[in-house]
Structure 1
């Protein structure tokens, strides 16, 4: 976690006409410096206000123009990891305590209390139903009691809080509950069939939050047959679920479709499901992103796919001793190391000589160093001091073809390839390169 400080903010708070507030305490105080509030909208996060956290305490004075809805309070970077989501209904101030170990406690705001109480209770009851099945329990009385508890919780919260923003989430979260005993196979089949029944995908507040995208992810990666035995079978079934989900949201705004599909793509990436990533992108996400004028996302995904662990590296060519050489046609080795550097980069001038010393006698390894340069004058001088490397040059630096193809954003950047020239690892430093090769 990297705390946000006032020095790294590009935004300033000029909210004179405040009408409500979100306040609270963070602990331990030393770990929190600044807080930024964003309204969650179908097209992404919209900046609202920000404030310093002083000795663990803060108060966000919400602007008069702030809309009722779900707000994301970012307290560190990366922003998609370190945040708290709260409901701001413009009727009540929100107060809470947040502790890195114990999490969030709402101290003022009935609506946020209802919201968290509902999800706590319904999740616990759903877990009891799953535990019933997992333990092989055959008590029909206990089964009936669990179903009754599920229905009571859902009905009571829907009826009691019908006019609240929280109600949108509570109602949309209504899931399948059997009317009588069902074995596990039947229950899972019916649960999957009714997964989308109560999801109001056209509600902008639900679209802005993580609620719907989490529901889609749960369906895609969890609503699967129990008899799957291979990764190939698993990915086929996941792709079927993706197709169903994409069809379900096809009438929603392109911005929301991109958000939902990109979330599924990222989950597949974390789980190293390359064919699922490609299926999502080629069949659904690319089209939605282009329709939403998001060429940047398309480019980022194409680079990520090209450099994916297990993918064959794009080719690199260079000249040496009057001959042309190529990464993809060079002689067999146990591993290959690609180094993207620059002769004007201070980190490179520190790391590369050390790496050269560590690896010059390393058996079974071939090294290709690609200089991202404005010209070849200094590059020739420095590369000559690293004779164990094969040297290629990419004039144009960040705009060069190699920089674009390999998505280079800083130097030095390292890639380790296996004997088939497939991406094996992406170390962050020369020390990590050596450590990986030695282990």
Structure 2
């Protein structure tokens, strides 16, 4: 009995040790009451929990080990910020103006170090080359010349001296960012080195935000003529039946989607569909969002938030022989170029009983309202940008994105550009 008690006590002690809290403080005039805490899996934010403020303080209790990137999102004001966890309490103070977060003060040691390191890295990459050029025009014995030399020496210094025992995630992130994502041509790594890293790296790879950019770097290092060979070589090593292999497969499918590499997306999406093993949540999410938007699939219904130019409550309530659904943004340059062309043919579309529905990725209500004043079709927006619910629901990776639906809301075409939309309806 004593032995059982001892084991239970050890487990309880471990549980207490693994738990940490995330505390967010905001000014009294910050109006948002709700906050959502996210963890990270590859490049996908995973909702952990939602909390309400008490005296403008949010406290999240995380019950297990987690080392990696986290995010807090305030849905009503569309504010978001990132931070790290090293299994220790996180404390953050927000400074805001007009209900927008203007500055983030990290009060815990790990995030303070990480913030300073990233600031230094940005200066090193962006400012140091410029300062080195400017220095050529000033003598070292002038006041400005001395100041330039001091700053150049400071930025050129080694800022990687992180104690791995005290800050394992910061050490992991900085070391591998420097090795695999540096702009320094002398640090170029081979495909085999990248494969070995992805294969052998621990769980922090999925939570670090490094996986996707490293995969893009891996594909670039293999050249455009050998994409399939590079991917097959990587997946053969990782084995797609494993959690790591499935996460990488999911990321690759999304990468091919973003870069409009349809042939490769189709090939590896089919590989994922035909897996006979247990599917991870990460890959299942990718399969579902892609299945939602396949040709012939019923386009999932969407409940409007604040629709304009319609009395319909949802996408399905909009009745027409056909619908053109557009995901766009007032800050999107391609949208600025393409949507006026659709507007020019809008009356012709209406004459054919074709309705247009614009779902915006905007965050600023004024910008969105001014833009839609010129668009007579159905318009709606959550005003949450890429945090909008329809990003995952409809597998949206870029703006503008078009879908054409039939009268039963089945997808009959996925045009790439507005010209393809007009050509489909013989209006070009």
Question: Please, what TM-score do these two structures have when normalized by structure 1?
Answer: 0.50
Counterpart among 319, 329, 343 of residue 352 in structure 1: 319
Q: Give the corresponding residue for 1:266.
A: 254
Match of 2:57 in 1: 58
**Maintained 8 Å contact 2:69/2:84:** yes
| CA distance in 1: counterparts of 2:241 and 2:31, whole angstroms | 38
* Structure 1 counterpart of 2:279: 292
Asked whether the 8 Å contact 1:42–1:205 carries over to 2, the reply is no
Structure 1, unaligned stretches of length 5 or more? Answer: 1-15, 138-144, 179-183, 226-233, 308-313, 316-337, 370-406, 427-431
Gap change, CA 1:82 and 1:88, over 3 Å in 2: same
Indicate the residue corresponding to 1:255 in structure 2.
243
Contact 1:19 1:62 in 2 (8 A): yes
Gapped runs of 5+ residues in structure 2?
1-15, 137-150, 302-311, 324-344, 356-402
Q: Distance in 1 between matches of 2:274 and 2:66?
A: 32
State the secondary structure of the residue aligned to 2:185: helix
Could you tell me whether the CA contact under 8 Å between 2:24 and 2:59 is conserved in 1? no
Q: Does the 8 A contact of 1:242 with 1:280 survive in 2?
A: no
Give the Cα separation in 2 of the matches to 1:150 and 1:199.
29
Aligned to 1:122: 121
Determine if the alignment matches structure 1 residue 167 to structure 2 residue 167. Answer: no
Residues 26 and 409 of structure 1: CA distance in aligned 2, closer, same or farther (over 3 Å): farther
Structure 1 residue aligned with 2:335: none
1:19 & 1:90 partners in 2: Cα distance? 7
RMSD: 5.9
The answer as to 2:83 corresponding to 1:96 is no
Structure number with greater Rg is 1
Secondary structure at 1:242 match in 2? helix
Q: CA deviation at 1:224?
A: 6.4
Instruction: Mark the CA change 1:366 to 1:273 in structure 2 (over 3 Å): closer, same or farther.
Output: farther
Question: Structure 1 residue 86: deviation in Å?
Answer: 2.7
Counterpart-to-counterpart distance in 1, 2:222 and 2:113: 32
2:115 is paired with a residue whose SS is helix
The within-5 A match list for 1:329-344 is none
Task: Give the drift of 1:241.
Answer: 4.1
Q: By how many angstroms is 1:203 displaced?
A: 1.4
Q: CA deviation at 1:34?
A: 1.3
1:265 Cα offset (Å): 1.8
Higher relative CO (Cα under 8 Å, sequence separation at least 6) belongs to: 2
How much has 1:278 moved relative to structure 2?
A: 1.8
Could you say which residue in structure 2 is the equivalent of 1:32? 32
Distance 1:189 1:17 in 2: 39
SS at match of 2:179: coil
Between the aligned partners of 2:258 and 2:181, the Cα distance in structure 1 is 32
Tell me if the contact between 1:69 and 1:89 (Cα under 8 Å) persists in the aligned partners. yes
1:413: which partner in 2? 409
Equivalent residue number for residue 203 of structure 1: 202
CA distance in 2, matches of 1:151, 1:243: 40
Secondary structure of 1:352's aligned partner: coil
- Alpha-carbon distance between aligned partners in 1 of 2:74 and 2:322, rounded to the nearest angstrom: 34
- What are the equivalent positions in structure 2 for 1:208-247 lying under 5 Å apart? 208-220=207-219, 222-223=220-221, 234=224, 236-247=225-236
State how far apart, in whole Å, the 2-side matches of 1:204 and 1:129 are: 34
- After superposition, what is the alpha-carbon deviation per residue over 1:97-156, rounded to whole angstroms, capped at 9, x for unaligned? 266876662331111122222233234434568889xxxx9xxxxxxx9999667223x2
Q: CA deviation at 1:251?
A: 5.5
Structure 2 length-normalised TM: 0.51
- Cα deviation, residue 274, structure 1: 0.8
Distance (Å, rounded) in 2 between the aligned partners of 1:269 and 1:73: 24
Offset at residue 252 of structure 1 (A) = 8.5
CA change 1:208–1:277 in 2 (3 A) is same
User: What is the rounded CA distance, in whole Å, between the counterparts of 1:360 and 1:190 in structure 2?
Assistant: 51
Residue 269 of structure 2 is matched in structure 1 by 281
- Alignment CA distance shift 1:346-1:239 (3 Å): same
Equivalent of 2:67, from 63, 66, 69? 69
1:108 counterpart = 2:114: no
Q: Distance in 2 between matches of 1:349 and 1:176?
A: 47
> Residues 31, 410 of structure 1: CA spacing in aligned structure 2 closer, same or farther, 3 A cutoff?
farther
